[in-house]
Chain A
Amino acid sequence: MGLDNYIAAFRDITFTKSLVNSLWIAGADILIVLTFPLLAAELLYAVKSTKKQYVVRTAFTFPMVVPSVVIILLWKWILAGDTGVLNNILTSIGLGNLAKPWLGDSRTALGSIIAIGFPWLGSASLGGLQFLLYFGALQNISKDMFEAAEIDGANIFQRFIKIDLPMLASQMKLTVTLAIINAVQVFDTVYILTKGGPGTATITPSVVLYEQGFTYRKMGYASAIGVIMFAIIMVLTVINQKLMKNTESMD
């Protein structure tokens, strides 16, 4: 057998398509976790009242408490074709021509899978983890730095660029690493929503692995896919570690 399983994997159109989908998901996830949760954390940090801050923070951690399957099924209903909430909203505001089966159309299925959940809190399967990481880090920044910046006449954007971003570098590095791992390993979201379809439009390596291993009983081939996924995660994580700087190195 030797390397036969690996050769077969790279010759398998379904598997190569799943790798391409994974890259799309990873790229989009990285962009999402570096922008929206950071924005949400900054907005909440700007709220002066501790009580209000507490209420919003509690609400933002809600998706973490609810099992991910519930959230995914909820989004399946929101994005459904005939009875979907999103299509209902579009129709009621006069944009009925945009209504479509979001998960059933190969042009929108992958985008829908990327967009589900709560992007302003982080990637779907991790709930509000990225938001909490950023918010916690913002709270740990010394108030003296903000006061010094204010005395120097820095506006809110200069403060964000010169203080917040460098001080959040370690958290950004971690969130990107988590996003990469999550994107390559994503299984539950895809399997519950589309099972990789329509066709192979949303198939991911984990779904291929599951089908090959447990539907077709090709355990060797499924194991080879697992090893390839591990190697991809390893390479992308090492690249991320090399490219992104830590907070300590920014001090």
Chain B
Amino acid sequence: MRKAVSIFSRILLGILLLLTLAPFYLLVINSFKGQTEIIKTPFQLAVNWQFMNYAKRCPRWSGPC
């Protein structure tokens, strides 16, 4: 009984951990995609890695932006 509870609690904790990190994973991987790719495949890693979103934020890459 105790072992079953322990296994169940670890699985539950793992799910909570995944759910906590999932939005941040989406945030990071989608920052390297274009709009179409984000809509088509939001969960997958970028096929064509784009750094335009960062370049737009920091146009000259000089000093803090």
B13 in the interface, Cβ–Cβ < 8 Å? yes
Contact between A121 and B20, CB atoms less than 8 A apart: yes
Task: Return B2 CB to nearest CB of chain A, in Å.
Answer: 7
C-alpha gap A83/B23 in the complex (Å) = 15
Minimum C-beta distance from A173 to chain B (A)? 24
- CB pair B2–A156 under 8 Å, yes or no, is yes
A74 touches B6 (CB 8 A): no
Instruction: Give 1 or 0 for each of A44-76: 1 = CB within 8 Å of chain B CB.
Output: 101100000000100110110010001100110
Interface check A210, CB cutoff 8 A = no
Say what secondary structure dominates the interface of chain A: helix
Interface centre among B20, B26, B43 (most CB of A within 10 A): B20
When chains A and B are docked, how far (Å) is the Cα of A167 from the Cα of B2? 23
- Give chain A nearest CB distance to B50 CB in angstroms: 18
Known: A74-B27, A156-B5. A43 touches B13 (CB 8 A): yes
Residues B20 and A59 in contact, CB atoms below 8 Å apart? yes
Contact B17 A71 (CB under 8 A): no
Which residues of chain A are near B21, meaning CB under 8 Å? 59, 62
Is the beta-carbon distance between A63 and B20 smaller than 8 angstroms?
yes
Interchain CB contact under 8 A, B24 and A56: no
Bound-complex Cα distance A21 to B56 (A): 40
10 A-B pairs whose Cβ atoms sit less than 8 Å apart in the complex: A47-B10, A56-B13, A59-B17, A59-B21, A60-B17, A74-B27, A75-B23, A83-B39, A88-B42, A121-B20
- Judging by beta carbons under 8 Å apart, are A43 and B16 in contact? yes
Do A74 and B26 have beta carbons less than 8 Å apart? yes
| Residues of A76-105 contacting chain B, CB below 8 A | 78, 83, 85, 88
**Which 8 pairs, one residue from A and one from B, show the smallest C-beta to C-beta distance?**
A43-B13, A83-B39, A43-B9, A74-B23, A120-B16, A85-B42, A46-B9, A59-B17
Not counting A118-B19, A120-B19, a sample of 17 additional A-B residue pairs whose C-beta atoms are within 8 angstroms of each other reads: A40-B13, A40-B16, A43-B9, A46-B6, A47-B13, A56-B17, A59-B17, A63-B20, A66-B24, A74-B26, A83-B38, A83-B39, A85-B42, A88-B42, A118-B20, A155-B1, A156-B2
> Which residues of B in the span 29-44 have a Cβ within 8 Å of any Cβ on A?
38-39, 42-43
A→B interface (CB under 8 Å)? 40, 42-44, 46-47, 56, 59-60, 62-63, 66, 70-71, 74-75, 78, 83, 85, 88, 118, 120-121, 155-156
Would you call B23 and A71 a contact (CB within 8 A)? yes
From B2, B10, B13, B43, name the one whose CB has the most chain A CB atoms within 10 angstroms: B13
Closest A-chain residue to B8, C-beta based?
A43
Q: Is B58 an interface residue (CB 8 A)?
A: no
Nearest-Cβ distance from residue A141 to partner chain B, whole angstroms:
18
In contact, A62 and B20 (Cβ under 8 angstroms): yes
Please name all residues of chain A whose beta carbon is closer than 8 Å to the beta carbon of B24 when the two chains form the complex. Answer: 62, 66
Kindly state whether residue B12 has any CB partner on chain A within 8 Å: yes
User: Within 8 Å CB of B19, what residues of A?
Assistant: 118, 120
A92 to chain B, nearest CB (A): 9
Distance, CA A88 to CA B13, complexed state (A): 25
